Amino acid sequence: KHQSSGQGLHENSGSGGIYSVERLLAAVLLTTSGPGALSQWLALAAAAYFLAGLLGFAWRIRWLLILGVRVARGMPGPRARRRALATFAARPATVPPQGQLPDVIIAATMRSGGTWASHIAHQIRMRGAAPEFFWQEDVVPWVDLHQDLFGLPAHQHPQPCLPRLFRTTATWCDLVEAGVVKGGTTPGPPPGPSDCKIIYVFRDLCDVCYSLFFYFPALFQVDSVLIHLEDFVYCARLLLVERALWSLVHFWRRRHDPAILFLFFDELFRDESSSPNSGALRRIAEFVGSGHINITEELLQTVAAQTAHASMASDENWDRFSGLSIAVLVSERLGVGYRYDLEPYLGKVSRIGGKPGQSRRVVGDAIRELFDSKWRMIVTRELGFESLAEMQQARASEVESMERERRNGDKGSGVNSTDRSKVRK
């Protein structure tokens, strides 16, 4: 019976014959479907092969699973983050000496340039004074983490001067839902003393996940050497990319709002090789200063030197911008020993990389296509940009126009009709 079925299958197989995948599978099923020792042994071998593959996969991702459990136990969950954001939104508006200048929130996904933008903003409000803080969290507290990790709401944490600065990894929807900012897609009025201003920084998400591969496991006392890069990037993509892209869409639509400063990580990176009198540093300075800080050429030059990558990554300053303080608290919450050998990976300022586009030369084509497909699914559909480079080019045209009008003393909207026609939606 099996032979006759096999012959009929072979005769009707066409050009592919018995070697096509579908017909080969059918032949195996016919062979193992009847009684007899041969079919039973084949079925047992197939089950053993499947079980071995399952166990091998579980062994491969075992440390990734351990990392996931530690993240769930060691960091505030979504409910705690929403509660912290709601507490911040309900903060008193006129507590002396606050209430004179709007608070400034630096909103960026982890490893997206938030530390860099925060340091620039802090040095601007300090008028270029030498850094004296021990950890950056001491002067720029986290809105959604400070209350749970340090036991004090972020807005009650003392700060050296005005305006107050805060960090968050929350998306636009998270901020709107908590009441920190007002929703809508049209620009609102200039922010008042009780409102918030937001510096938003976006970075290529493939670069973000690649950078997280070295930093995030060490934060939870796991050595990244034990985790496969593509497994980590794939999981990070599932948890991070869609939320981050939707936040990018929402912030892009509000980029002309006077209470929002929209930046790309690449702009901060390019500023190091150009004059600080133009570009991201000046825009941050004017945004933070709000007319209350005299932005001089000398101040910009001083802050540019203090916030350069070489200065922040030096032995003198590296600890200031590391995740050591959070790693110690997380290890205590988890009840695991703190590993000093992982401290080199806890730097928020990379000493070995950090260049835009670096990750796409390391991860495989399949992983890159996963990121690109998500981009097309969300950003291309909503805004029309086929790639991040196209979006950056459109933004660069806007910024160039605004800089040209600023130099010419134009008090208009900042984007003329010719340049507006180049920007989609």
Sign of torsion over alpha carbons 119, 120, 121, 122: positive
Q: What is the pLDDT of residue 83?
A: 92
Global confidence as pTM: 0.82
CA distance 278 to 406: 11
Q: Which 3 state secondary structure label does DSSP give 200?
A: strand
* Residue carrying structure tokens 């929130």: 105
Q: What is the pLDDT of residue 146?
A: 86
Q: Which 3 state secondary structure label does DSSP give 371?
A: helix
Find the helix or strand (DSSP H, E) in which 166 lies: strand 165-168
CA distance 306 to 298: 12
Cis bond leading into 102, ω under 30°? no
Compute CA distances 357 → 31, 48, 239, 270, 341, whole Å.
Answer: 52, 43, 21, 13, 28
Q: In angstroms, how far apart are the furthest CA atoms of the chain?
A: 93
- Residues with Cβ within 8 Å of 134's Cβ and at least 6 positions away in sequence, in order, are 319, 320
CA distance 274 to 252: 25
Compute CA distances 320 → 9, 110, 118, 251, 380, whole Å.
Answer: 71, 17, 12, 29, 39
Q: What is the pLDDT of residue 139?
A: 94
Give me 92's structure tokens: 């008193």
Spatial contact of 153 and 147, defined as CB atoms under 8 Å apart? yes
Q: Which 3 state secondary structure label does DSSP give 224?
A: helix
Q: Which 3 state secondary structure label does DSSP give 375?
A: helix
User: Model confidence over 155-169: pLDDT tens digits?
Assistant: 899 999 889 999 999
User: Model confidence over 88-117: pLDDT tens digits?
Assistant: 998 876 454 555 688 999 999 998 999 999
Residue type, 99: G
Find the helix or strand (DSSP H, E) in which 264 lies: strand 260-264
Q: What does DSSP assign to residue 16?
A: T
Q: What is the pLDDT of residue 92?
A: 76
Low-confidence ranges of the chain (pLDDT < 70): 1-39, 93-100, 184-194, 271-278, 351-355, 357, 409-425
Compute CA distances 25 → 2, 29, 32, 209, whole Å.
Answer: 14, 6, 11, 39
